[in-house]
Amino acid sequence: MKPIVFIDGQEGTTGLQIYERLDKRDDIELILINENKRKDTTERKKLINEANLVFLCLPDDAARESVTLIDNNETRVIDASVAHRTAPDWVYGFPEMSKKQRESIVNAKRTTNPGCHSTGAIALLAPLTEAGFLPRDYPIAITSLTGYTGGGKSKIAEYETSDREERNDLNSPRAYSLGAEHKHIPEITLYSGLAFKPSFIPVIADYPQGMQVIIPLHMPGKRREVYDILASHYAGCENIDVFDEAPAFSASNVNADTDRLTLVVSGSGDNVVLTSLFDNLGKGACGAAIQNMNLMLGFGEYEGLVLNR
């Protein structure tokens, strides 16, 4: 019998992408809510409790409300919002993060999908702290460039509006959350194994999809050791590549339209530069959600993922 899957919040950017992927699969039964009833709590509750697995693609408060609608012990959840990212009774949905993480997701009833910026930072930092190589109190600075689709429908509309010529500011990268309170900081800190919040500057740029997270480290003569730790940690991961030298130019959209994650260790002398490259809607959102669903429902981990352009 095929597992039943429901997307609560199918109309949003992530929900729509998940729907488009799942609609092509014949190994699940995807149930849909009537357009006229998508805000009907009674109808949503009915479908949520019919499903073996529910994706929550909703604002944070709405995601918390959806969880309260579950009245059985069988329905499993993948929450794409920030609501449960650091909750101790939820499993963080980054299977490559540590040796035990994949098994935890396989057995999880409640999985929280990582944030896009967080994915790039944690992928670079967690193996180094886990290995005891990077001190937990190391002062971390992170710059993260993202395509505008990461901002959801409102940002897509802003960047793709017909009167773009009146908004010269949209033509150049724009740093934001300069008050150092970005919503991804808590999960970056927790799952990277850091003792203190990193300095984090996100930047939105004028291209639709793609992300580049950059972390410089002052570690004289340690570049090769950093590469060896990351390469060893991700050995066997079909969706992750680790390289020990950056190209002359690093394009943030190099992995757009795929679910790949590329990690690069570069730098020279005293300085090591860590870079992660992926699609903010792929490994940074719906691709990660599909990967977690595959693990939770017993499918092949990479089923339905786009690993090559």
Based on the fold, state whether residues 44 and 120 are members of the same structural domain: no
Q: pLDDT: is 167 or 21 the higher one?
A: 21
Residue 30 sits in a domain whose CATH number is 3.40.50.720
Based on the fold, state whether residues 12 and 105 are members of the same structural domain: yes
Q: pLDDT: is 162 or 100 the higher one?
A: 100
Based on the fold, state whether residues 52 and 32 are members of the same structural domain: yes
Mean pLDDT across 249-261 = 95
Nearest to 126 by CA among 63, 192, 61: 192
Task: Determine, yes or no, domain membership for 306.
Answer: no
Active site (annotated) includes residue 116: yes
Residue % of the chain over a pLDDT of 70? 100
Q: State how far the alpha carbon of 175 is from the alpha carbons of 19, 64, 201, 254, in Å.
A: 31, 30, 7, 21
Based on the fold, state whether residues 74 and 130 are members of the same structural domain: no
pLDDT of residue 267 exceeding 80, the answer is yes
Task: Determine, yes or no, domain membership for 220.
Answer: yes
Based on the fold, state whether residues 121 and 269 are members of the same structural domain: yes
Range of the domain at 237: 116-282
Q: State how far the alpha carbon of 90 is from the alpha carbons of 86, 190, 217, in Å.
A: 8, 13, 31
Residue % of the chain over a pLDDT of 90? 85
pLDDT of residue 115 exceeding 80, the answer is yes
Based on the fold, state whether residues 265 and 159 are members of the same structural domain: yes
Instruction: Give 171's pLDDT tier (boundaries 50, 70, 90).
Output: confident
Based on the fold, state whether residues 152 and 97 are members of the same structural domain: no
Which residues in 230-247 are b (16+ Cβ under 10 Å) and which e? bbebbeeeebbebbeeee
E strands, the chain, in order:
4-8, 29-31, 53-56, 76-79, 91-92, 110-112, 141-147, 174-175, 199-205, 211-218, 240-243, 261-268, 271-278
Task: Determine, yes or no, domain membership for 155.
Answer: yes
Catalytic residue among 57, 116, 237, 286: 116
pLDDT of residue 36 exceeding 80, the answer is yes
Mean pLDDT across 223-244 = 97
Instruction: List all residues 6 or more positions away from 52 whose beta carbon is below 8 Å from its beta carbon.
Output: 3, 4, 5, 74, 75, 76, 297
Mean pLDDT across 1-15 = 94
In this predicted model, what pLDDT tens digit does every residue of 88-101 receive, in sequence order?
Answer: 999 999 999 988 99
Which residue type, as a one-letter code, is found at position 109? K
Q: How many domains would you assign to the chain?
A: 2
In this predicted model, what pLDDT tens digit does every residue of 175-205 receive, in sequence order?
Answer: 998 887 899 999 999 999 999 999 999 999 9
